[in-house]
Amino acid sequence: MKKRFFAAMLVAVCLLGALCGCSKRDRRVVGSCAGYDVFYEELRFVTLSARTESEGLDAGALKEAVANQIALDYAVLVAAKAYFSDLSLEDAEIQKAVDASVDAAIEEYGSKSKYKAFLKENNLTESYARLLLARAEVELKWKEKLETDLFTGTSLEDETAFAAWLQDGNLVRARRIVAPSEAVAQEIRAALLAGASPEGAVQGKEGANLSAKFYLVKGYSEDQELEADAFALTAESPVGEIRAVNGEYRLLIREEIGAEDAESFAAYQLPTYLQNLRKVKYEAEREKILSDIVKNNPFLLNEFGNSLDLTTIK
């Protein structure tokens, strides 16, 4: 799903606060979503954001984009309620965190007037900014629960479990040679099979390139063909077959992971791999859950909301 503009904005300013008044129009209900009232201030913010991100949308496309974004925003609350049945945005714990962010934001901007100016420049009101903060707190609570469900008892639970899984044939170290022609690639491969080092095999071969050693984790490579080729290599057959890729010729060489390599990998690269893989799995699951919720909880405009022309909102 498209990254939400306001989420990026929240991170950039270390969350928002209060102290900006709202007009009666801002607090007028324009519709509902997942059992929550949606106010004009939110519709305005999402509309202006959508118009900025996608110029030239006609009225119908703009209305659909805005409705989808609002439904997605409230889907987070629906998802969280699956874990916290009595969850309320007005919970003392959540509001305490919001208040703390208010103080931090005022301190960050240096004065209340500068902070108010920031809100105005970003089409925000006090109450909507606080709603964004409260949702962010709810999502953090949900994220912790969802990650517990996803990772407990799996290879991604912690570094110990992940290291054991990698050692069970799920990590490979390799080097890649790219040659400009199949004939050159064949010469290089023959030299490797005859016992030449990778450096020696490519020496004097114009246009041939030898990569640094790299690791691949099974099931998580962007280049699936490269991953399959790398994991097909064995200690007994460490030189791969030649494969044509984008007009060049590639072959892989398996590199053994020695004790020193393993120690270095565990200290410096394993934590990053674990963090990234957890993130990939979490975000995929999050997207699936929210997508299903959005389908069942659309944003519905009321009579007043339907009377508004989103293309002219300022």
CATH code of residue 220? 3.10.50
Residue 273 in any domain: the answer is no
How large is the average pLDDT for residues 178-201?
Answer: 97
**Nearest 5°: CA angle at 54, between 48 and 56?**
95
CA 92, 4, 280, 211 dihedral sign is negative
169 contact partners, CB below 8 Å, separation of at least 6: 218
- Phi/psi-derived region of residue 151, left when phi > 0, alpha when psi is between -120 and 50, beta in every other case: alpha
Residue 53: both structure tokens together = 């991100």
Element (H, E) at 178: strand 171-179
Q: pLDDT tens digits for 29-85?
A: 999 999 999 999 999 999 999 999 888 889 999 999 999 999 999 999 999 999 999
Residues 15 and 134 occupy one common structural domain: yes
pLDDT at residue 20 above 50?
no
Does one domain contain both 139 and 222? no
pLDDT for 128-169, tens place per residue? 988 999 999 999 999 999 999 999 999 999 999 999 999 999
Cβ 255 vs Cβ 173: under 8 Å: yes
Residues 216 and 126 in one domain: no
DSSP state of 34: T
The total number of structural domains that make up the chain: 2
**Can you give the pTM of this predicted structure?**
0.77
Average pLDDT over residues 273-294: 96
- Residue 165 is given by DSSP the state H
Q: Is 49 among the domain residues? A: yes
Residues spanned by the domain of 67: 5-152+283-306
Closest CA to 139 of 18, 7, 35, 43: 7
Q: Which helix (H) or strand (E) holds 294?
A: helix 270-296
Q: What is the pLDDT of residue 115?
A: 81
